[in-house]
Structure 1
Amino acid sequence: MRHPLRTWLMAAILAFTLPVATPTLAVEDFDLPRLGAGNSVSGNEELRLGRAWLRQFRARAPAWQDPIAQDYVESLVGRLLPHSGLGDTRPIVTLVDSRMLNAFAVPGGVMGVNSGLFAFASDEASLASVLAHELGHLSQNHYARRMARAEETQIPAMAAMLAGMLIAAGGGGEAGIGVAMGSQAAFLQDQLAYSRRFEQEADRIGLQTLAQAGYDPDAMVDMFRAMQRMAALQGGNPPEFLLTHPVTESRVTDADARASQISVSRPRPEEPQYDLIRARALLDLNRSNPERALARLTEGDPADVAERYLKALIAAERGQTEAALAHLDALADTLPDLPMIATSAAEVAFDAGDHAATLERTQRLLRLFPDYLPARRLRAEALLHHDPAQAYQALRELTDRRPEDPTLFALLAEAAGRSGQEAWGHLARAEHMQLTGRIDSAIRQLEVAKQVAQNSSDSTALARIEQRREAFLGYRETMEKFR
């Protein structure tokens, strides 16, 4: 028997409509609710539902593992957030390693950004316009409103939609999206005008958000028109973003008219961060042909430092470590207020196996920017090779600060194992498993952690393991609703 919440979760994911804003959960509250059979979903249940979907998604979709890019996108979302009407809510951002031009959000405040979006968006305002649009869906409670509409229209069976989502998440790309979209054709026909109203509402909120954050609202209109041109060049085959956010000429005209009436009182100064992050994305998308990344970057007339930065990264990829470090150090001297450049140099040293240099570089940087998370994370990784006990403490602090980051828990498990914290190592490994959708394996790992803690008489670890076991069992029960 199909569960109505599963049906609606998949529908909401495909339409990329978003939930009611909800408070942030504490670290101990990772667990997901035991959902009832009704269609109504409370605020906390929506948040936990989104976390459940994120874990499924992580199990199937390739992640773009780039702490510097992650920090940048989270900072950009944080810049837009105060103007979006969402209060103190802060979505979880996940980066997806995919060429597809897409961004999305799901119930519970989970936002996803494909690395392919950076290849398409030529400047920061363009990327901000997409994120502001998604935040507009959130602030207008479109997920909850779509649920109410569904109760009236009796959505048909959508079993194929789940299969399509899994294909798309696993790398099937357009084929997967095609399966999912085809399985709900009748639903879309009925909902088209309704979803267009949602899109227009999100546009209007997004335009205001952009302007209040200091970005030119015309960037959203320009982004729509660029996507339309891309679809025309591809023979009417639209980019993935337009499959779930249909752009009509009337919608573009409305956005254009509204943008022309909005003034930006405090325009943001032009800064090179976006061009540097775009360089990283282009290199990640063109590992087999770095010169193509450089050609694509220069097409967009980037800041001069971005081209130099990308050339340094390409040199590092080719094993030219000394040349890469020399170029990056020169750039860091030119732009001392951008910690990402010095952190990039530390990354090059780490990838070359020089962990002592990595520690020296990150320690020097953190004296100036103590809260720059990419540098703190890289320092912890380097400490694993020099002082595992210190690495363990550093990673404990980072996982407390970022309880939804699976890679940090993987590093924590390694540090715990190397520093003699065996029970805590098994617990960290269990956390990594549950964050990546392997809940049954996570529960088994907790049993191992419990046995080790009992043997070593670690009462603190035992208490924490038992607490997490209850949370994991609730999570598994919730996940079974989607099977």
Structure 2
Amino acid sequence: MWSAGTLAVREKAHRLVALVVALVLLLVLAVPSQSALFSEFTISDEAELGRKFNVMFRARFPLIEDPEIVDYVRDLTGTIVDVMPPIAFPINVHVVRNDSMNAFATAAGYVFVFSGLILNLDNEAELAGVIAHELAHVQQRHIAQSIEHSQIASAGALVGMLAGVFLGSQGKGDAAGGVMLGSMAGAQSAMLSYSREHEREADNIGLTSLVDAGYDPRGMIDAFETIRRRTWMGGGGDIPAYYLTHPGIEERIGYIEQRIARYPEEVRTQHKDSGRFDRVKTLLRARYSDPKIALGYYAHEDEGSMSCLDRLGRAIVLSRLNRIQEAERAFARALACSPGRDPLWLRETGIFYFEYGQRQDKAVSYLQEAVLRNPRDLMALFFYARILAETGKVDEGIAMMQRIEKRLPEDAEIHYYLGRMYGQKNDMFHAYLHLCYARLYKNQKQKFLRRLDGLKTYAQTDGQKKELARLEKTYKEWSQYW
């Protein structure tokens, strides 16, 4: 997931999202449950739906696993969860690599925040406002309530409504958008007022949580204002459907402003630093968005007056554009102003020398220091493990990559390089095993099946046969969403 070539090609078309979600929800929800066609949608029912949705989403759409980004969004989410009323489910947060201005919470506490949302907001309070709203839906179990309520409507209308709530990034004029909007139209008269009640409740609970967590309450208003501005500018095609229709954004801004006005001044003026937000936004722009567009962002500033963070962002973009000499100079200038040799600056400079440079000694030096300064940075560990294996320290490389795999067991790149490392040791069972997982998590069915045939010839011991059985079970669950 983290190599430069892979990052350049894993962009997904927005128009596929709504269609796949609608089809999967149809598959999951069209079958009557044991609870009398959802007359009572239990905690267990919701947990199963959430798990299936999570597997489907991870099988179809690219997630960002960069710990600098994911840990930040999870920490922010945890700050809000800590001040909320009890939630029936553990919260699982993922960051989606997609430039739609979107975030949604699906069944059982699975929260998906799109990179485009962070890139289009201005500060942490705005992002916290959106996440607080989504967490309120989870806390109130609005999805379960909607499913129970939907027994008076058709299955198709229910699927359309849920798909519209989960993901509003329909392509303009495409078939997927037509499927969703058509099915939602039939549900409007029966469900719109109910949805308005849910949205108002989520706004109110979300605003309370935002304030209790110490954020400027106007963060929620400012996020909605950005959505409204994007809509006026013709950018509404990637705005979440519930922001536009459940209820009208003008009405929502109005009643939230009335609530904020009743807060005492010390609450209306409370503030949290957005330093980590700015850091993550820079990394998303530089490493995970279109590099040509990202370079344009930095072109408007004189390099001498750029902040140290912007210098790092520009260096990353130049490296992605293969402007190697310029990138090397830019990394040197960025590193020279790095605050206390920040491990993020060290990591990114080390990755540059590993991917593009001729000086592997520099890559080793920078990545090693990054790992020592921040042992939690799995991305630095990933590249450092690769260097160890490539320089003959295969056992050390495997041990380090296994540490990463325990944290990210469904990452195709990690399994791919683990497979290669085991191949260097001539451990063919584990080489084939991890290469099978790599093909599985890349949704490459035919290549997976060919690797699986090879793996079976090496599965001799009882332990190996158990590992093979686990792989086949994962394939059965994962492949149903291909």
TM-score under structure 2 normalisation?
A: 0.77
> 1:216-365 to 2 correspondence within 5 Å?
216-234=216-234, 239-240=239-240, 242-243=243-244, 246-262=247-263, 264=267, 269-283=272-286, 284-294=288-298, 304-317=307-320, 318-319=323-324, 320-332=326-338, 334-336=339-341, 338-353=342-357, 354-365=359-370
Answer whether contact 2:98 2:114 (CA < 8 A) is retained: yes
Aligned AA (1:365): A
Alpha-carbon shift at residue 265 of structure 1 (Å): 11
Q: TM-score, normalised on structure 1?
A: 0.77
- Gap change, CA 1:344 and 1:76, over 3 Å in 2: farther
In structure 2, what is the equivalent of residue 389 of structure 1? 395
User: Which amino acid is 2:290 matched to?
Assistant: N
Q: Compute the displacement of 1:95 (Å).
A: 3.2
Kindly indicate whether the alpha-carbon contact (under 8 Å) linking 1:65 and 1:95 is maintained by their aligned counterparts in 2: yes
Relative to structure 1, is the Cα distance of residues 389 and 42 closer, same or farther in structure 2, using a 3 angstrom cutoff?
farther
Shift of 1:148: 0.4
Q: Give the whole-Å Cα distance in 1 for the aligned partners of 2:100 and 2:162.
A: 19
Q: Residues 253-274 of structure 1: CA distance to partner in whole angstroms, max 9, x if unpaired?
A: 2222333445659956424322
Describe the SS at the equivalent of 2:336: helix
After superposition, residues 4-403 of structure 1 pair within 5 angstroms as: 10=25, 39-40=37-38, 43=43, 46-64=46-64, 66-85=66-85, 90-156=90-156, 172=171, 175=174, 176-234=176-234, 239-240=239-240, 242-243=243-244, 246-262=247-263, 264=267, 269-283=272-286, 284-294=288-298, 304-317=307-320, 318-319=323-324, 320-332=326-338, 334-336=339-341, 338-353=342-357, 354-386=359-391, 387-403=393-409
Deviations 1:163-210 (A, max 9, x none): 999x998x9567333432223211133211111211122212222332
In structure 2, the partner of 1:415 is 421
Q: Aligned partners of 1:197, 1:97: CA distance in 2, in Å?
A: 31
Identity of aligned residues (%): 25
The equivalent of 1:23 in structure 2 is none
Deviation at 1:215, TM superposition (A): 1.7
Q: Aligned-pair RMSD on alpha carbons?
A: 4.2
CA drift of 1:129 comes to 1.6
Contact 2:211–2:217 (CA<8 Å) still a contact in 1?
Answer: yes
Q: Quick one: distance in 2 between partners of 1:149 and 1:296?
A: 53
- 5+ residue gaps, structure 1: 1-5, 15-34
SS of aligned partner of 1:294: helix
Tell me if the contact between 2:124 and 2:274 (Cα under 8 Å) persists in the aligned partners: no
Deviation for aligned residue 1:364: 1.8
Q: Is the 8 A contact 2:282 2:313 kept in 1?
A: yes
**Is the Cα contact below 8 Å between 1:346 and 1:357 reproduced in 2?**
yes
Equivalents in 1 of 2:43, 2:445: separation in Å? 23
Which structure 2 segments of 5+ residues have no match?
Answer: 1-20
CA distance in 2, matches of 1:13, 1:468: 23
Range with bigger deviation, 234-243 or 155-164: 155-164
Q: CA deviation at 1:224?
A: 0.9
Cα deviation digits, residues 79-138 of structure 1 (max 9, x gap): 333234456955444333333211223224332222222331011221222222211111
CA shift, 1:392, in A, is: 1.7
- Specify the SS of the correspondent of 2:292: coil
Q: Aligned-pair distance for 1:219?
A: 0.4
Between stretches 106-115 and 184-193, larger displacement belongs to 106-115
The residue type paired with residue 352 of structure 1 is Y
Distance 1:389 1:86, change over 3 A: farther
Counterpart residue type for residue 367 of structure 1: L
For 1:265-285, what per-residue CA distance to the aligned partner results, in whole angstroms no more than 9, with x for missing partners? 995642432223222333343
Structure with the bigger RCO (C-alpha within 8 Å, sep 6+) is 1
CA shift at 1:222, angstroms? 1.3
Matches of 1:253 and 1:12, distance apart in 2? 39
Determine helix, strand or coil for the equivalent of 1:95: strand
* 1:20 alignment partner in structure 2: none
Asked if structure 2 preserves the Cα contact closer than 8 Å seen for 1:10 and 1:161, the reply is no
Q: Between 42-51 and 360-369, report the one with greater CA deviation.
A: 42-51
Q: Greater shift after overlay, 236-245 or 384-393?
A: 236-245
Answer yes or no: is the 8 Å Cα contact 2:216–2:268 preserved in 1: no
Contact 1:82 1:88 in 2 (8 A): no
Alpha-carbon distance in 2 for matches of 1:61, 1:178: 21
Contact 2:105 2:112 in 1 (8 A): yes
Counterparts of 2:301 and 2:112, CA distance in 1: 23
Deviation of 1:220 (Å) = 0.3
Tell me which amino acid in the other structure corresponds to 1:186: G
For 1:44 and 1:206, locate their aligned partners in 2 and report how far apart those are by CA, in whole Å.
25
Q: Secondary structure at the match of 1:205?
A: helix
Q: What residue identity is the alignment partner of 1:339?
A: P
Are the counterparts in 1 of residues 24 and 56 from structure 2 also a CA contact under 8 Å? no
Contact 2:164 2:184 in 1 (8 A): no
Shift, 1:314, TM fit: 3.4
Secondary structure at 1:83 match in 2: coil
The aligned amino acid for 1:291 is L
After TM superposition, give the deviation of residue 221 of structure 1 in Å: 0.9
- In 1, Cα distance between the equivalents of 2:349 and 2:203? 39
Residue 361 of structure 1 and its aligned partner are, at CA, apart by: 1.8
> Counterpart amino acid of 2:138?
L
What number of residue pairs does the alignment pair up?
A: 446
